[in-house]
Amino acid sequence: MLQCTKHIDTILKLVESHRKSADEETRKLVADASELCKVLDITLKIPRVAGRQQHRSNPPATTDLDFWKRSIVIPYRNSLITSLKTRFPQENLPAFSLFVLHPQRMLGLPLEEVRNKMKSAADFYNLDTLQDEVELWYSLWRNKDLPLPELEKLELAEVVKEAATFFPSIEEALTIALTLPCTTSSVERSFSTLRRVKTWLRSTMGQERLRRLCLLSSHREMVSSRGMDFEKDVLNRFAENPRRLSLL
């Protein structure tokens, strides 16, 4: 997770640098598009200042490159930057800073930086004595003098055992880190289920029926494990409610 947050920060800085050099980026894109049009035998029609789009506002532009830059390049870069900042806000970083307490990560940072990260984590999770235990925790693992391969093999669950008794706040912080989900697919799963359930043959149904069918589709392993009798009960339950179809 720490690597992902750093990688996202690197991507954001790169996109922002591309946004600042929009003129150069636009020239490269137009040149690549022109070469591709030659290969595909397509004429690249560059809109002029007069007679461009008529059904929506046109960006002010005196040259063709200005038009492409202001209508495509800059809006796309701005949208990408906004999406990255919205999906990965800085407010969530303290939640992931708990992983710095792992010896492999911690010993690779100066003590002052570890303290700063733990300050934000302590405020985020209301761990009052976390900062007081960090320096002793840092010295404990520094004095162990373990080689890097052994530190890399340490699981977070093993590190929690070292924090028991003498480091209550660090033990709580590591326990929280163990429970943090690395990802979630609930949204994608619901959309894929909806595509299977709400087909063109079932385009008209109530919210209650749709919700129950989606639950049955998402948990079909549970349904199949209960045997045919359970499926018959479900079908009979649906059949009890008559569907009034309007033929008009």
Q: Is residue 158 part of a domain?
A: yes
Q: Is residue 248 part of a domain?
A: no
Does 30 share its domain with 102? no
Confidence of residue 18 (pLDDT cuts 50, 70, 90): confident
The pTM (predicted TM-score) of the whole model is 0.49
Q: Is residue 19 part of a domain?
A: yes
Does 97 share its domain with 175? yes
Q: From CA 70, how far away is CA 145, in angstroms rounded?
A: 57
Last residue within a domain, chosen from 60, 88, 116: 88
Residues 6+ apart with CB under 8 A from 89: none
The pLDDT value given to residue 137: 92
Does 66 share its domain with 136? no
Taking all residues of the chain, what is their mean pLDDT, rounded to a whole number?
A: 79
Q: Is residue 236 part of a domain?
A: yes
Does 70 share its domain with 16? yes
Q: Is 143:137 a contact under the CB 8 Å cutoff? A: no
One-letter amino acid at 119 equals: K
Does 168 share its domain with 114? yes
Structure tokens at 9: 């920060």
Confidence of residue 248 (pLDDT cuts 50, 70, 90): very low
pLDDT in tens, 30-85: 888 888 888 888 877 765 544 555 555 666 777 778 888 888 888 888 988 988 88
Structural domains in the chain (count):
3
Mean pLDDT of 121-127: 85
Domain extent at residue 191: 186-240
Last residue within a domain, chosen from 54, 69, 88: 88
Q: Is 213:197 a contact under the CB 8 Å cutoff? A: yes
